[in-house]
Chains A and B, each alone.
Chain A
Amino acid sequence: MAITPPPERVWWNIPIARTEITWIVIAFAWGLLMFSAMIYWHIEGEQNLSNESYRTTPAAFSEKANAMVEQYQVREEAGMPVVHPPPGSDVYMIARLWQWWPILEFEKDQTYRLHLSSMDWQHGFSLQPVNINLQVHPNYDMVVTLTPNESGEFGVVCNEFCGIGHHNMIGKIYVTE
């Protein structure tokens, strides 16, 4: 039994039953396949993280974000600037207690270099209803090159707990035709 010492003194020489060894081989092969799938997706798949990120500071990052807003603001909404940056450009979104700033407006099927960083605690960038989720740290500038492939109005919800106002930290991204 499993609660008594093995009855055979030399238990490690007992051959393994065929059913068990077959399952071990299948399970091992499945593991290799799942491992390869992640590498394959980096080559052929379209949804990967870039590994591009930089050290920054809240001051340096917000300076870049402010410059972008000054240059490309098109209107205001809920007291917040709405920015329509040119396709292909560097776009900045600030995460702070408790807002995503500013509101961004993208064009469908165009590519943008979205920079994310936090001014204070950790936050979670959760694009809804697309359901793309990224972790946002202070002092790290994460660059995600993304291509919206549908138009409409999208929510940016915070999904990393950031204190008492966490549930109110909602931002917005528009994608125009």
Chain B
Amino acid sequence: MSDFNHRVCPATGLRIHKSAENLIKANAVVAIVFLAVGGLFGLMVALTRWPGVHLLPADWFYLVLTGHGLDVLLVWIIFFEMAVLYFASAILLNSRLAGPRWGWAAFALMLVGAIMTNVAVLQGNSSVMFTSYVPMQAAPHFYLGLVLFAVGALIGCFVFFGTLVVAKQEKTYKGSIPLVTFGAMTAAIIAVFTIASGAIILVPTFLWSVGIIGNIDTLMYKTIWWAMGHSSQQINVAAHVSLWYLIAAVVLGSKPLSEKVSRMAFLMYILFLQLASAHHLLVEPGISSSWKIFNTSYAMYLAVLGSMIHGMSIPGAIESAQRARGFTNGLFEWLRKAPWGNPAFSGMFMSLVMFGFLGGITGVVLGTEQINLIMHNTLYVPGHFHATVVAGTTLTFMAATYLIVPLIFQRELIMKGLARWQPYLFGLGVMGISVFMMGAGTLGVPRRVWDITGADALIKYDYSGAAYLMMGLNGISAIMAALGGLLFVIIIVGSVLFGKRTGDKPLEGMTMTTAANYGSDEHPKIPGTVVLVAIFFTAFILYYFVNWKYLAEVWPLR
């Protein structure tokens, strides 16, 4: 109760405690620094894989690819998630942060860990890829850095849980926690599971790298490593879906169609998403098909069901709010007249569409036990997860940052004209990266390969001309995404440093007043969303069966 150091937010009237605010700022800033570094690495990877450019030598390529995965998949995202957790607890619940000192300890551990692992990679002896499959060995401080980072993140999760308890005890809000906080709690619970799995596998691997443990079974390593590796992507899903609800609420005042349904959908994430370790083990020896089928489908696709529910309830909430505002003409006036010039909204909506159509559908297909045979470890895999993690998570985090700058940093955006275009530039680039990598993957191009021409190989294999074309288009898309990313970093860093102070003015592009449901609460009318969902479902069914057909054409095997 010692923390009386707070201000009142002019937009929401919520009390914003300095301790929470400073931690949100610190985590967000470090996140964006690592996004810039990791994004640059990503551009270098794509330009090397463009056969016409072939930028880096082989050793640098594998080094940079390791750093790319580490810095954007792990460091950028988890730092930003810490900011999201503190925001969704302390700020939305009108509360002080529990144990801000622990929050700073978490921050310090994560930063030290991230730097340590980056140093290990840049020293050149740890080009083992993000997955670091044994018995390939990295330097001990590669693993140690990851462990420190994970311990820091775990402490951050407990600061979040502690804040929920403090807010409840001090009665800073009435009734149940907001949906966004509930979603963030889902992410934090999955994070605890994820980090525990990480500790179980990375601590022994560290001991093995310093010679204390003699041998680590490759299949055991992979099974547990992916209990961390895939589950950490589920933290991202829970976090970015929460932010979709948040952005729709802040920008349009939209209200969930049903609190019950949306919360149930989040609950399904907690119950079933962790099974997805199996996605990475579908063509491994030594694991039975029944285990693979049950786990790869998240127990009969119950976590996919959760995402499909959000896929209707979020656009539905937006449509309902827009129609209540008077955009009732035809099926899609609500969508045409949505705030497409507001980067928070446009980023969020593009993310929703690409995550569903590109990331979601391909993820289910890729995770089908037998279909995985014709895709495993080809470029299809990074194609798929750039749609989920970059178009899904990263683009959403960018969109949310456009709200955090005025709300938390209390600065207006600089270069507003360019900011309008930034999500489109980045989003289209990522869409290209995803589509062209998946295209190359279906033509057999492997992932994580420096050179597909086989120039130095004793035996050659020639890929089709189409595969080379795909790699070139991927390179062009990566340049576009990198420009979008660079623009984001410049706008945000510039705004934080040089933006006009917002003071007590109402904030641009934010409604903050609850819109009513269109129709009635029990029967909100969302005909446009129904059409969008029907298009999605049709695409899903077609793509799913087309891939069974592709599978049926390859050599019979059993």
Chain A residues with CB under 8 Å of chain B are 1-9, 11-12, 14-20, 23-24, 26-28, 30-32, 34-35, 37-39, 41-42, 45-51, 53, 78-80, 99, 103, 116, 120-122, 124, 126-135, 137-142, 144-150, 155, 157-164, 166-172
| Interface SS of chain B | loop
Q: List 11 A-B contacts (CB under 8 A).
A: A1-B255, A2-B179, A30-B301, A31-B300, A48-B289, A121-B133, A131-B443, A131-B444, A169-B457, A170-B460, A172-B461
Q: Which residues of B have CB within 8 Å of A140?
A: 218-219, 285-286
Q: Which residues of B have CB within 8 Å of A19?
A: 312, 316, 524, 526, 529-530
Chain B residue with the shortest CB-CB distance to A161:
B448
* Chain A binder among B205-213, B326-334, B374-382: B374-382
Most buried by B among A37, A144, A172: A37
Chain A residue with the shortest CB-CB distance to B215:
A139
Known contacts A2-B256, A139-B218, A168-B456: A157-B446 contact under CB 8 Å:
yes
B505 within 8 A of A: no
| CB contact between B285 and one of A6, A128, A131, A142 (< 8 Å): that residue | A142
A174 nearest CB across to chain B (Å): 12
Binary A-proximity of B22-50 (CB < 8 A = 1, otherwise 0): 00000000000000000000000000000
Interchain CB contact under 8 A, A129 and B288 = no
CA of A92 to CA of B259, assembled, Å:
58
CA of A50 to CA of B557, assembled, Å:
8
Chain B residue with the shortest CB-CB distance to A27:
B308
Chain B residue with the shortest CB-CB distance to A150:
B555
Q: Which residues of B have CB within 8 Å of A135?
A: 281, 283-285, 376-377
Binary A-proximity of B449-491 (CB < 8 A = 1, otherwise 0): 1111010111111011000000000000000000000000000
CA of A169 to CA of B446, assembled, Å:
12
Interface set, chain B 502-558, CB cutoff 8 A to A: 514, 521-524, 526, 529-530, 533, 537, 540-541, 544, 548, 551-552, 554-558
| CB contact between A137 and one of B284, B376, B377, B540 (< 8 Å): that residue | B284
* Chain A binder among B151-159, B229-237, B242-250: B242-250
Chain B residue with the shortest CB-CB distance to A1:
B249
Given contact pairs A11-B259, A158-B446, enumerate 5 new A-B contacts (beta carbons under 8 Å).
A23-B533, A47-B555, A140-B219, A159-B446, A170-B460
Interchain CB contact under 8 A, A130 and B456 = no
| CB contact between B557 and one of A18, A23, A47, A121 (< 8 Å): that residue | A47
| CB contact between A159 and one of B178, B260, B377 (< 8 Å): that residue | B377
Interchain CB contact under 8 A, B557 and A17 = no
| CB contact between A134 and one of B370, B376, B447 (< 8 Å): that residue | B376
Interchain CB contact under 8 A, A134 and B302 = no
Known contacts A19-B530, A23-B309: A124-B376 contact under CB 8 Å:
yes
Chain A residue with the shortest CB-CB distance to B133:
A122
A35 nearest CB across to chain B (Å): 5
Interchain CB contact under 8 A, B255 and A164 = no
Chain B residue with the shortest CB-CB distance to A48:
B558
Interchain CB contact under 8 A, A46 and B449 = no
Which 4 residue pairs are nearest across A and B when measured between Cβ atoms? A155-B461, A31-B301, A159-B446, A142-B285
Interchain CB contact under 8 A, B558 and A50 = yes
Q: Which residues of B have CB within 8 Å of A24?
A: 261, 305, 309
B58 within 8 A of A: yes
Chain A residue with the shortest CB-CB distance to B370:
A41
CA of A126 to CA of B448, assembled, Å:
13
CA of A132 to CA of B556, assembled, Å:
10
Q: Which residues of A have CB within 8 Å of B554?
A: 47, 130-132
